[in-house]
Structure 1
Amino acid sequence: MPNPIADPLVEVPDTSPTSDLVRIEATQAGAATVVLNRPARKNAFDADLISAMDEAFETLRGAEGVRVVFLRGAGAMFSAGADLEWMRRAADRTEADNREDAMAMATMMKKLWDLPTLTVALIEGGAFGGGAGLAACCDLAIATQDARFSFSEVRLGLIPAVISPYVVAAIGARQARALFATGQVFDAAEAQRIGLVTELVADVAGLTAAHDRIAREVLACAPGALAEAKQLVGDVAGREIDHDLLELTARRIAAARVGPEGQEGVRAFLERRKPAWAAG
């Protein structure tokens, strides 16, 4: 049997009902948690889990009042990557069928990447293959110190294609080449050093504390401004700093200053009170 810490494929009995593969837990303050709920399979990916995640992210994209989205795995593993049975079935399907399968995963990850709220991966146990891709899709990734990571697709004759845009954006091309080409397992400290993980905590209690801290911090942020700030990064990253970019940034801040959140935020600061979005 593969070691789920060293290998992204999992071969254990599956007892999770398809209808409960993903849970969304939410607080009245607007903190939503998406829980991958295949603990018996180490939250490994298959078509059903990908579809359930896609539906969850689509739901959250249009959910009014959601301020931050956390992502975590049920049990003691964030995600062990690809499910072995899913991979076996894929090997017997046509290239066209596999392309359709891969597009479903690609669409799901893009929906996570495009969420207008702050997104935070809470990682324990490990994040392998697609699981590490989910971490790279999130704005923040917080991991326990004993968590492990790997992109081991090449050891199976495969490549980490669908997750590659997000991983390269998170850790850079050179680090991605090295890790994609060797398939090595690396620890949480290395994941933080290269940028895949943004914060380390001692244990699961530390993940809970980080969840609570970030949920409180987000309440101080205007939700519309937060979404615009995330979009701004995508719009300016990699662009030449020329007149067109200067005009774009000037337009953005001018619109923010006269917009309802900008007006309320400045007035609240001058009047030494909480703005409306943080007053609850």
Structure 2
Amino acid sequence: MTTLVHTAHERGITTLTLDSPHNRNALSAALVRELAAALKQNGEDDDVRAIVLTHTGTTFSAGADLRDPPPPEALVALLRQIIELPSPVLARVTGHVRAGGLGLLAACDITAASTESTFAFTEVRIGVAPAVISLPLIPRTDPRALARHYLTGERFDAAEAARIGLLTAAGDDVDAVLAPVLDGLRKSEPQALTETKQLLTTKVLEAFDRDADALTALSARLFSSPQAREGMTAFLERREPPWVL
């Protein structure tokens, strides 16, 4: 079977690389399973100071795989897993991020992207809503900006993503942006990192405890609706859905 998530280690940093080029690293059931397994294995390794989540190709993640989507519960579990890992998780983005892929970014502790990266919450354009990914997004992102981007589905750039709190930083060379961050993490005492991460994620985990069941049910209902079936069919057929004016 093809490996969808590759693992590499260097000086206490584990890099997990999404490698599903046929669907632009969309969150298929298989990719979500592999990523969850890789996070579990490395999150339990005392030698791992931090985890960097990155990608091959020009897209970090295109969102949910419409042909093989994971159950909403699996995506919720993956997002919570990232937040609850003892080690900090960083996102390294050198391409585009859409829909559910933005949930991965919001779950990470530190996020950096190159200036050519673009972002969009495209759910409303196929007849659904950014339901479960709101669990980490709403506590960590500017609410007025999030309202615009949720409701319009328009594309925005890395500077805007940084302004609204989706990214920690953006730059022409994402590795140069991350270099001092990784250096700082290597100098930090592991237990102190874990305790500090827990301080920073308290409000996000409160959102999971309060809203996960309701948003999981909302996602399941919307994805099974006639509007979503039409929207996803139109997307796969590369045509406009009937509600476009």
Q: Deviations over 1:96-115 (max 9, x none)?
A: xxxx8110111011111112
Give distance in 1, aligned partners of 2:18 and 2:201: 27
Assess if the C-alpha contact under 8 Å between 1:71 and 1:121 holds in 2: yes
Structure 1's 43 and 235: CA in aligned 2 closer, same or farther, altered over 3 A? closer
SS in 2 for 1:86: coil
Q: TM-score, normalised by structure 1?
A: 0.69
Q: After the TM superposition, which residues 207-246 of structure 1 pair with which residues of structure 2 at under 5 Å, given as runs?
A: 207-235=174-202
Give distance in 1, aligned partners of 2:45 and 2:178: 20
Letter in structure 2 aligned against 1:121: A
Moved more, 103-112 or 74-83: 74-83
Unmatched segments (≥5 aa) in structure 1? 1-17, 88-99, 240-280
Q: Deviations over 1:30-77 (max 9, x none)?
A: 101110011232111110001111111111221121001111111222
For 1:199, the equivalent position in structure 2 comes to 169
Assess if the C-alpha contact under 8 Å between 2:169 and 2:177 holds in 1: no
Which residue among 65, 86, 97 is the counterpart of 1:127?
97
SS in 2 for 1:23: strand
Tell me which structure has the larger Cα radius of gyration.
1
Structure 1 ranges of 4+ moved more than 4 A: none
The alpha carbon displacement at 1:236 in A equals 7.2
Q: Does 1:34 align with 2:54?
A: no
Structure 1's 41 and 234: CA in aligned 2 closer, same or farther, altered over 3 A? closer
Assess if the C-alpha contact under 8 Å between 1:43 and 1:78 holds in 2: yes
How many residues are aligned here?
206
Unmatched segments (≥5 aa) in structure 2? 207-245
Letter in structure 2 aligned against 1:143: A
Q: After the TM superposition, which residues 102-117 of structure 1 pair with which residues of structure 2 at under 5 Å, given as runs?
A: 102-117=72-87
Which residue among 39, 44, 59 is the counterpart of 1:57?
39
For 2:48, the equivalent position in structure 1 comes to 66
**RMSD (CA atoms):** 2.0
Which residue among 16, 21, 27 is the counterpart of 2:4?
21
Bigger relative CO (Cα 8 Å, ≥ 6 apart): 2
Assess if the C-alpha contact under 8 Å between 2:112 and 2:178 holds in 1: no
Q: Deviations over 1:167-225 (max 9, x none)?
A: 112213333222211111111111111110111111xxx22333443222211111100
Give distance in 2, aligned partners of 1:124 and 1:170: 21
Letter in structure 2 aligned against 1:179: H
Letter in structure 2 aligned against 1:168: I
